[in-house]
Structure 1
Amino acid sequence: MDKILVANRGEIAIRIMQTAKKMNIKTVAIYSAIDRNSPHVKFADEAVCVGEAPSISSYLNAKKIIEVAKNLNVDAIHPGYGFLSENASFARLCEANAIIFIGPKSEAIKTMGNKLAAKEAVKQYNIPMVPGIDEALTDVAKAKDIANNIGYPVLIKASAGGGGKGMRIVETESDLESQMNRAISEATSAFGDGSVFIEKYVRSPRHIEIQIMADSHGNILHFFERECSIQRRHQKVIEEAPSSVLNPVLRKNMGEAAIKVAQSCNYLGAGTVEFLLDADHNFYFLEMNTRLQVEHPVTELISGVDLVELQIRVARGERLPIRQDDLKINGHALELRVYAEDPLNDFLPSVGHLKSYSLPTGKGIRVDNGFEQGMDIPIYYDPLLSKLITFGQTREEAIQIMLMAIENYHIEGVETTLPFGKFVCEHEAFKTGHFDTHFVQQFFLPEQLQQNARNEAKLAALIAVRLYKEDQKILRLPNI
């Protein structure tokens, strides 16, 4: 494998290229017209424009990407996350053109990309699943019968896709029809597939996921868990590894269950098996993400592996160079997704110009970054600027380093999730580990963030006045 095309942009494109260059593999960047001057374009050995700004014309233009790969004699394509990373048709297109797709085979992507098909695949492995119905629904009357049998509250979920789209919590029968219609409409708009299914809603759940890696020689490893319960709109903002609530026995059981999920679809490469953990520490299979996750750095830091390097080695047909017994948890890692979003305005995107953009540095700090000062934030893509990751020997140390890193991350021109990250890390529920996926709804008050900002500004002003007065007292000797 001499040359890899990275079919993505921003921080994940640079992250993949860093490992490729370490392995002495040439890299090709693709970019849209609006991304012409982006850091990932400059970082690559070669770069090709694949279309205009909208994703459908550029980063989702599968035929154009394959054409570029063939013209430049590319051996493999790494899709990163998002865009075409979980597109079975794109994986098949790579296979048909004798280009290695650095990810699972198209059939595994197809199976795990449909939640109902995924549940059907893992049934024979006796993996716990949330009570519900394993069939697509569009009929409201039938949905009401099922919901009454399961018992309220229930969760309506889109069969295709994820990211919280096409998902509705229903507390009572009177709300079922309206919520189901909304879920179907949203799923149709987002995924082109309006089919939904119903399952029991697990109250106060933790969102725990297990990182796995499988080679083509029958070896599958798990790299322990990530805690992903701090979310807004069912999408993660802060992740950590390991989880503060898992004991060794539960960790082992969940890891083994994740490996079975991978076995159920003849999996290859990096993947993540997601579980819900209820208040009694019962875990239930949720879904499998057939790609590298945004939050993979926290796993790398506690396990001491380069997951992208393992992806590439597996794609080349190599055996995994480590065994399960070789893997041990070392320390604790946190990740804050630094989005150009306004936490005071329901986390809505905050597009604009990066007037100032300075990254924190220091021991225990890692920043996977995709932007630089002077750039504009495009409206066409996910507003993720970077991932701020910290590592310590203990969870408490990792949190303190995160707070220090947030203070030293300077951004002007757009609102970001940095203040939210500080709020979470200073909150007692997070510090003690007593939280679940409802943290934002239960504890986050935008007014409190505003008050904290006012208090900090007032304190800064008082300090400035005091320093000024002290300065006036200094005796200035006359010139002689």
Structure 2
Amino acid sequence: MIRRLLIANRGEIAVRIARTCRELGIEVVAVHSSADRDSEIVRSADIAVNIGPEAPRRSYLNIPNIVEAALQTGADAIHPGYGFLSEDPDFAEICESAGVTFIGPPPSVMQDMGNKATARRLMKEAGLPMLPGVVEPVRTVRDGQQIAEDIGYPVIIKAAAGGGGRGMSVVHSAADFSEAYVSTREVARAVFNDPAVYVERYLAGARHVEVQVLCDQHGNGVFLGERDCSLQRRHQKLLEEAPASHMTIAQREQLGALAVRGALSVGYTGAGTMEFLVDHSGEPYFMEMNARIQVEHPVTEMLTGIDLIREQILIADGLPLAFGQQDVRCTGAAIECRINAEDPSRGFAPTPGRLDVYSAPAGPWTRLDTGYREGDRVSPHYDSLLAKLIVWAPTRDQAMSRMDRALAELAVEGPGLCTTATLHRALLRHPDIRADRHDVQFLDRMMPSLLASAAEIDARGRGVAVPSLTADVIHAVSAPAEPSRSRGVSPRNTIEQEVTPA
């Protein structure tokens, strides 16, 4: 059995994993950079190990130091969380070679599902529906142009090794294809060290719906409902909800069955997410699989009452699932808002700084997942996720009202600090959102009016006159940021040590 677990991550997700470990009686080893020496996860861990300086490549992406930290502290397992090394098959294989259990799927499965072109081919073979396009990388501009002509514009060019909303270009006409193809390959090469791209039909007005699956090592698989993640900017999710209320019960069951079929067909184990685009008629099309825990996993936990981190650990320990599909019950509605330390009016520019005031909302069925405490500093070295605010209610409308109330209670103040909380309130109050009429392009399309509404909400909350926002103060949305993490006070009962590099 796993008795001591190293968390190869930081901030909110590290604290979240540690909580489940404590409930399971598992000791926690926290690894941290020098910038996170006083973080909340370090404060709460049984053992803390400094694995390097603040730069991620020298700390949280430093595989030799992380594995050596596990060996020196006697950790039985490593949980990668999300981001960083969570979908790195080489890391998973090295953990296995070192005799340390990796909390996730086998490295070979991670390799296959991490490459979007390979994943599309495998899922097509498993019978999952696909948008028109190719399942293999496109080698030349001419080949890509021919594919686009065959399937019809608009098309989207995607990096085969892509993720996080990067490495995608929508092309509306043949005249724009060549430039988009070259630029997407350049981004793919720079960001993912792999220039391979593929082409598929671009589905306008679609909804982004994902299915949470759990698969054990004994061939059992279940789906835990679906999440609608259509509210996103530049392919970066801001708000997630469950269930996808625009879908019928029959459509949900069909989608869940497809997701489990696809996961089991490749020998997947652990928690994973199958992502789909859903058109106006409710027809789903496979996009990709995330072979890890998702940022938005609390939405499913609130809906089902199932601790996904607990299930990940038990599955990695070799235990069969303790429940079947007939035992899964999705009740009510849940919403998650990502509270980022960003200024939406300045293109979502990060706003690091000290949290002079940091007060969490309370009330019924209200949850705040965070890695910060009042007095901590939001670091500029990592992503800008400050917290995840999650609520549950019997109906979608009640959940939206509850979230609006909780966002109003959330207090974050500090020199130069801004958050996305007020923008979320503007989203929740928009009539198209309340009526469930939005799609994946909604936020980018409506950003100017949403920023104006957010400014009005903020001004009224401070009891000041509402200024008029003009075009010169509403900046274009900048390149997407990535999910963030934490800081805090080091505890006296934590064993602090330095890792000796292998």
TM range (shorter): over 0.9
Shift of 1:60: 0.5
Shift of 1:441: 2.2
Residues 230-379 of structure 1: pairs in structure 2 closer than 5 A? 230-379=231-380
Residue 48 (structure 2) pairs with residue 47 (structure 1): yes
Structure 1 stretch displaced more, 290-299 or 173-182: 173-182
SS at match of 1:161: strand
Looking at both structures, which has the greater relative contact order when contacts are Cα pairs under 8 Å and sequence separation is at least 6? 2
Cα contact 2:422–2:457 (8 A) shared by 1: no
1-structure distance, mates of 2:239, 2:256: 21
Residue 442 (structure 2) pairs with residue 439 (structure 1): yes
Cα contact 2:359–2:411 (8 A) shared by 1: yes
Specify the code of the residue in structure 2 equivalent to 1:14. Answer: V
Residue 454 (structure 2) pairs with residue 449 (structure 1): yes
Structure 1 stretch displaced more, 168-177 or 368-377: 368-377
Specify the code of the residue in structure 2 equivalent to 1:355. Answer: D
> Tell me, which stretches of 5 or more residues in structure 1 are unaligned?
462-480
**Deviations 1:206-240 (CA, angstroms, capped at 9, x unpaired):** 00000000111111010010010000110101001
User: Paired residue for 1:120?
Assistant: 121
User: Paired residue for 1:30?
Assistant: 31
User: Paired residue for 2:428?
Assistant: 425
1-structure distance, mates of 2:284, 2:187: 28
Residues 173-192 of structure 1: pairs in structure 2 closer than 5 A? 173-192=174-193
Shift of 1:138: 4.1
SS at match of 2:334: strand
Residues 152-167 of structure 1: pairs in structure 2 closer than 5 A? 152-167=153-168
Cα contact 2:425–2:454 (8 A) shared by 1: no
SS at match of 1:317: coil
SS at match of 1:160: strand
Change (3 A) 1:302 1:233: same
SS at match of 1:121: helix
2-structure distance, mates of 1:360, 1:245: 29
1-structure distance, mates of 2:388, 2:463: 30
User: Paired residue for 2:86?
Assistant: 85
1-structure distance, mates of 2:126, 2:180: 33
2-structure distance, mates of 1:98, 1:457: 56
1-structure distance, mates of 2:235, 2:465: 36
Say how many residue pairs are matched. Answer: 461
**Deviations 1:109-136 (CA, angstroms, capped at 9, x unpaired):** 0000000111111222211011101221
Residue 190 (structure 2) pairs with residue 195 (structure 1): no
Shift of 1:460: 8.5
Specify the code of the residue in structure 1 equivalent to 2:380. Answer: I
1-structure distance, mates of 2:361, 2:161: 39
User: Paired residue for 2:402?
Assistant: 401
**Deviations 1:296-333 (CA, angstroms, capped at 9, x unpaired):** 00101111111111111111111100110011111111
2-structure distance, mates of 1:115, 1:236: 19
SS at match of 1:178: helix
Residue 138 (structure 2) pairs with residue 133 (structure 1): no
1-structure distance, mates of 2:42, 2:463: 43
Specify the code of the residue in structure 1 equivalent to 2:454. Answer: L
Shift of 1:447: 3.2
SS at match of 1:17: helix
Residue 66 (structure 2) pairs with residue 61 (structure 1): no
Specify the code of the residue in structure 2 equivalent to 1:448. Answer: S
2-structure distance, mates of 1:272, 1:82: 14
SS at match of 2:378: coil
Specify the code of the residue in structure 2 equivalent to 1:450. Answer: A
Shift of 1:459: 5.9
Structure 1 stretch displaced more, 260-269 or 24-33: 260-269
2-structure distance, mates of 1:397, 1:459: 29
Change (3 A) 1:89 1:194: same
User: Paired residue for 2:482?
Assistant: none
Cα RMSD, aligned residues only: 1.3
2-structure distance, mates of 1:90, 1:437: 33
1-structure distance, mates of 2:73, 2:170: 48
SS at match of 2:377: coil
SS at match of 2:190: helix
TM-score normalised over the length of structure 2 = 0.90
1-structure distance, mates of 2:201, 2:347: 27
Q: Percent identity?
A: 41
**Deviations 1:237-294 (CA, angstroms, capped at 9, x unpaired):** 1001111111111001000100111012100100000000011211000000000000
Specify the code of the residue in structure 1 equivalent to 2:115. Answer: N
SS at match of 2:213: strand
Specify the code of the residue in structure 2 equivalent to 1:447. Answer: A
1-structure distance, mates of 2:307, 2:462: 41
Structure 1 stretch displaced more, 367-376 or 266-275: 367-376
Change (3 A) 1:359 1:456: closer
**Deviations 1:141-191 (CA, angstroms, capped at 9, x unpaired):** 221111111111000000002111110000111111111122111111110
Change (3 A) 1:149 1:354: same
Shift of 1:18: 0.2
2-structure distance, mates of 1:373, 1:78: 27
2-structure distance, mates of 1:364, 1:337: 17
Change (3 A) 1:450 1:460: closer
User: Paired residue for 1:474?
Assistant: none
Shift of 1:197: 0.7
Specify the code of the residue in structure 1 equivalent to 2:455. Answer: Q
2-structure distance, mates of 1:301, 1:450: 31
Cα contact 2:459–2:465 (8 A) shared by 1: no
SS at match of 1:401: helix
Residue 177 (structure 2) pairs with residue 172 (structure 1): no
